[in-house]
């Protein structure tokens, strides 16, 4: 069984990354019904400790 979706879905991104910023802008223009919440990891809104993240680089990767 699948878990029931919980909205909004929070997407964390690096606002200093030009590619990330473009992708978030693209998604933000198409987001409907406040289903997506965008949090820049460089902003005051982002609290890594609240998410039990010691280093942001441990969870943000590109392959």
What band does 63 get if pLDDT is binned at 50, 70 and 90? very low
Between 39 and 1, the more confident residue is 39
**8 A C-beta contact, residue 43 and residue 15:** yes
Domain ranges of the chain: 9-58
With cut-offs at 50, 70 and 90, classify the pLDDT of residue 25: very high
* Nearest partner of 13 among 63, 56, 58, judged by Cα: 56
Return the exposure string of 25-57: e unless at least 16 CB atoms fall within 10 Å of the residue's CB, then b: eeeeeebeeeebebebbeeeebeeeeeebeeee
The DSSP code for 41 is T
Q: What is the pTM of this model?
A: 0.68
């Amino acid at each position: 069984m699948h878990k029931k979706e919980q909205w909004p879905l929070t997407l964390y991104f690096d606002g200093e990354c030009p590619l990330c910023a473009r992708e978030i802008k693209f998604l933000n223009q198409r987001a409907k019904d406040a289903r997506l919440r965008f949090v820049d990891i460089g902003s005051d809104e982002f609290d890594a400790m609240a998410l039990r993240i010691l280093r942001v680089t441990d969870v943000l990767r590109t392959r």
